[in-house]
A and B are shown apart, each in its own frame.
Chain A
Amino acid sequence: MDGSWFLAKKQSTLRLRARILQELRNFFIARGYLEIETPCLIPAPAPEFHIDAMICHGWFLHPSPELCMKRLLAAGYDKIFQICRCFRHHERGARHLPEFTMLEWYRRDADYRDLMDECEDLILHLAAALDRGNAICCQGQVIRLQKPWERITVHAAFEKYAALSVEEALDGDCFDEVLTARIEPNLGKEAPTFLCDYPLALGSLARVKKEDASVVERFELYLAGMELANAFTELTDGEEQRRRFVEEEDKRRRAGKSPYPAPEPFLKSLESLEESAGIALGLDRLVMIFADALHIDDVVAFPPETL
């Protein structure tokens, strides 16, 4: 009885979720993107120190579909998108599910600035399709969606909100603490915010910025203080990518984490990857924004604890 009441109560949110999924597909298909599917079960995820893949019979449930999607990109598929389940061990909180839904899209001949423009168009398309006009009400604040949205560098955001330089935060080993406690709550409040140009050390698959070699072309999109998407101008230099993977994998092993084999076919495919950009957007969080939900459990039918 209780169980079905909790499900019944979610009906309007689950209907909204279904509409959002439909509208996302409409948006990408109208723009000439091809919807693709890649395996959830993979032999080697991208080594990232802070993302733990779930092990499944010696292989891994993918924490993101990025490696397979980039192989397709390298093979000449120039505009692709995917909506799929991703898995990350130990990630559970008001904005985290260990199994969650990701929207990823990739484009050839584009950089992270093009993806910022496309994010603006995407959210505006959804707002219009859902009759929200040019503003979303979320957490008691009105977020105006008129273009262009705020673009602030990580460097400027640290100075502005934390009165601390990025170098000081990195040296003091408190970058994530400062980012989450003092910066993120200020982002995307009146209008969505792109936090861009991350320090080189924090851009595992992103290209170094042409104008400033100390940062990478990476951004995160924030709405209502919540991180919604992460994007890169993709690193296309196979040697550089291999070097960064070895570094991350070393860190993983030194910390006693489960070893990942090198994703060789992906690394090899980078030889034919031209300039391109890619982005991963948390679909559950996108629904949270439009449903004005405080907890990720509110926008999925079955949080793991209810199974």
Chain B
Amino acid sequence: MYAASDLRKNLRIKMDNEPYIVTEFNFVKPGKGQALYRCKLKNMISGAQFERTFRSVDVFEPADLQEKKMQYLYEQDDKYCFMDNESYEQILLTADQVGDVRNFLIENIEAEVLLFEDRPLGVTIANFMDLVVTEADPWARGDSVSGNTKPVTVETGYVLQVPPFIEEGEKIRVDTRTGEYLTRVKD
């Protein structure tokens, strides 16, 4: 069980049998008054957000979330198929559940799927992915001003800004949390 004083940003709690994540948190207390915990909560299934103020006597059940190691297999009709590494069972996630991670999914990579009582809620992958550039304008050699960027497309179809010297067929490392270019990768 969590006490109100355990509340903080990103804590996951269970209320009315649904998982919620604390997206904003504020401790408020009038000098002589009681401690109040003002939270913004997001329902991890429906995405609905709302504000709630708790008191120090309130207690919460942790949301019983599981992270399972899975392998990403393929995408079909906007559904993303993952396979449980232990049971070999396959599950389908919607584009919403996959979120921005879909920009970096290539076949057979390792992923962690977040489940609430066997319902998939989301997926995380490695922080850094090496992806092949499939489309890029050629490098205009004169363009060496530092800070200049150009858009390229990588093998997953994702478009991002990179330094002008990156060429088609090269591999680049991308931070999957921010979606940003990090460095060129030489095999």
Binding site for B on A (CB under 8 A): 48-51, 90-96, 175-177, 179-181, 184, 202, 204, 220, 227, 230, 255, 280
Q: Which residues of A contact B27 (CB under 8 A)?
A: 91-94, 96
Give the Cβ gap from B68 to chain A, nearest Cβ, in Å.
32
Q: Interface majority SS on B: helix, strand, loop or mixed?
A: loop
Do A180 and B32 touch (CB < 8 A)?
A: no
**How many Å lie between the Cα of A94 and that of B38 in the bound state?**
12
**How many Å lie between the Cα of A220 and that of B29 in the bound state?**
13
* 22 residue pairs from A and B, CB less than 8 Å apart: A48-B32, A50-B29, A50-B33, A50-B34, A51-B32, A91-B27, A93-B26, A93-B28, A93-B29, A95-B28, A96-B27, A175-B33, A176-B30, A177-B53, A179-B30, A180-B28, A180-B33, A181-B38, A184-B30, A220-B30, A220-B31, A255-B57
Do A50 and B32 touch (CB < 8 A)?
A: yes
Do B36 and A90 touch (CB < 8 A)?
A: no
**How many Å lie between the Cα of A230 and that of B31 in the bound state?**
7
Q: Which residues of B contact A202 (CB under 8 A)?
A: 32-33
Closest 4 pairs between A and B when the two form their complex, measured CB to CB? A93-B27, A176-B33, A230-B31, A50-B34
Do B33 and A179 touch (CB < 8 A)?
A: yes
Q: Which residues of A contact B35 (CB under 8 A)?
A: 50, 90-91
Do A180 and B30 touch (CB < 8 A)?
A: yes
**How many Å lie between the Cα of A227 and that of B35 in the bound state?**
14
Give the Cβ gap from A95 to chain B, nearest Cβ, in Å.
8
Indicate with 1 or 0, residue by residue over B13-48, a CB within 8 angstroms of chain A CB atoms.
000000000000011111111111010000000000
Q: Which residues of B contact A227 (CB under 8 A)?
A: 30-31
Q: Which residues of A contact B28 (CB under 8 A)?
A: 93, 95, 180
Indicate with 1 or 0, residue by residue over B32-72, a CB within 8 angstroms of chain A CB atoms.
11111010000000000000010011000000000000000
Do B32 and A204 touch (CB < 8 A)?
A: yes
Q: Which residues of A contact B34 (CB under 8 A)?
A: 49-50, 176
Do B36 and A180 touch (CB < 8 A)?
A: yes
B5 at the interface (CB under 8 A from A): yes
Q: Which residues of B contact A91 (CB under 8 A)?
A: 27, 29, 35
**How many Å lie between the Cα of A202 and that of B31 in the bound state?**
11
Closest to B37 in A: A93
Closest to B33 in A: A176
**How many Å lie between the Cα of A143 and that of B96 in the bound state?**
46
Q: Which residues of A contact B30 (CB under 8 A)?
A: 176, 179-180, 184, 220, 227
Select which of B5, B31, B32, B53 is within 8 A of A181 by beta carbon: B53
Q: Which residues of B contact A48 (CB under 8 A)?
A: 32
Do A177 and B32 touch (CB < 8 A)?
A: no
**How many Å lie between the Cα of A181 and that of B38 in the bound state?**
10
**How many Å lie between the Cα of A93 and that of B38 in the bound state?**
11
Do A230 and B53 touch (CB < 8 A)?
A: no
**How many Å lie between the Cα of A50 and that of B34 in the bound state?**
5
**How many Å lie between the Cα of A148 and that of B57 in the bound state?**
41
Q: Which residues of B contact A184 (CB under 8 A)?
A: 30
Do B32 and A90 touch (CB < 8 A)?
A: no
Closest to A180 in B: B28
Q: Which residues of A contact B29 (CB under 8 A)?
A: 50, 91, 93, 96, 180
Give the Cβ gap from A278 to chain B, nearest Cβ, in Å.
14
**How many Å lie between the Cα of A95 and that of B32 in the bound state?**
15
Q: Which of A95, A180, A220 has the most CB atoms of chain B within a 10 A radius of its CB?
A: A180
Give the Cβ gap from A197 to chain B, nearest Cβ, in Å.
14
Closest to A51 in B: B32
Closest to A175 in B: B33
Q: Which residues of B contact A51 (CB under 8 A)?
A: 32
- With A50-B32, A184-B30 known, 18 other A-B pairs at CB within 8 A are A48-B32, A50-B33, A51-B32, A91-B35, A92-B27, A95-B28, A96-B29, A175-B33, A176-B36, A177-B53, A180-B28, A180-B33, A180-B36, A180-B38, A202-B32, A227-B30, A227-B31, A255-B57
